[in-house]
Amino acid sequence: MNLFSTIKLGNYNLKNRIFMAPMTRCRSIKDNVPNKLMLTYYTQRASAGLIITEGTQISTQGIGYPYTPGIYTAAQIKGWKKITDAVHEKEGRIFVQLWHVGRVSHSSYHDGKLPVAPSAVKPSGQIYTYEGMKDYETPKALSVSEIKEIVQEYAVAAKNAMKAGFDGVEIHSANGYLLDQFLRDGTNKRKDEYGGSIENRSRLLLEVIDAISAEVGSDKVGVRLSPSGTMNEMSDSNPQKHFAYVAQRLNECKLAYLHIVDALEGDIRHGANVVELPILRDAYKGLLVVNGGYDKVKGNMVIENHLANAVSYAKLFLANPDLPERLKKNTKLNEADPSTFYTQDEKGYTDYPSL
């Protein structure tokens, strides 16, 4: 087995194990509606074994970045449907990543209301808004009833994803966003059933999985975790124990896959308490996808050594719309231009050349 081997994911037979990782690109239009530019972008990359879209808000409360798409209005569903239809015409498969940023937001996105979080723990630094850079605010700690409402919003978003023609959904529980904020004791200071113990801090993620699975079937659900991640000031006192527990619990959920973000250079630089991949592979028995600085050689190695079943690529897929073909032929790869990652036009988005 290698990157070019076929693989069965849920009820789908995928043409390779080279997945397109979710990447925020800030190209949607007014009211967070996907547009023609996004259609071109995703269709260009339909040769991926699986496309996982950029983070897509489940509600207005989930917004934390400008020009990012949602999946909670009829116009957004219609916009995504054009994209999924085009990807399917190219014989591709596409999951939408469901996203709620939690505390990593600003009241200017929410008509003056504060961002929400498990606890009132303020991030340091500033956030980019439509009005420019602003200081982060101390978020509002969610009540239990508000948490239950968010669980239902995830379920509705998953139902909307099926209306939009997606093949499945990925639950974004990584990178310091809302579900990750509940998992980590650096941000979760609660004393109720959603805080304290590892079991309690894992509760919200498991409730979201159950609610979504009830709507679309667990075989259409993936989960993304970043056990070693420090993005958005994340930390945990014992991530090895915690994320091994989470991975073991996910076996019961019969998911399509678990998607792990490895410790990145920035995480190491910021003092990450690294959770090694073998710990997670031992704990999770299902289909495991890995992400984080992989090239062809490292990707093949992790599959051949049975540490993962597939590899997701971010910057390489961003800059190389035909990445599977380029990897197979060992041809030169385009280099990504970081200055265009979050701009609003086709430059550095749909103008990277194919072979």
Active-site annotation, residues: 177
Backbone angles phi, psi at 139, to 5 degrees: -75, 165
Token digits of residue 253: 């959920």
- Total residues found in the chain within this entry: 355
- Torsion sign across C-alpha atoms 111, 112, 116, 122: positive
Angle at 233 between CA 231 and CA 236, to 5 degrees: 100
| C-alpha span between 346 and 195 (Å, rounded) | 44
Q: How far is CA 307 from CA 225, 278, 289, in A?
A: 16, 7, 9
Nearest to 342 by CA among 54, 45, 53: 54
DSSP string, 34-103: --HHHHHHHHHTTTSSEEEEEEEESSGGG--STT--BSSSHHHHHHHHHHHHHHHHTT--EEEEEE--TT
DSSP 29: B
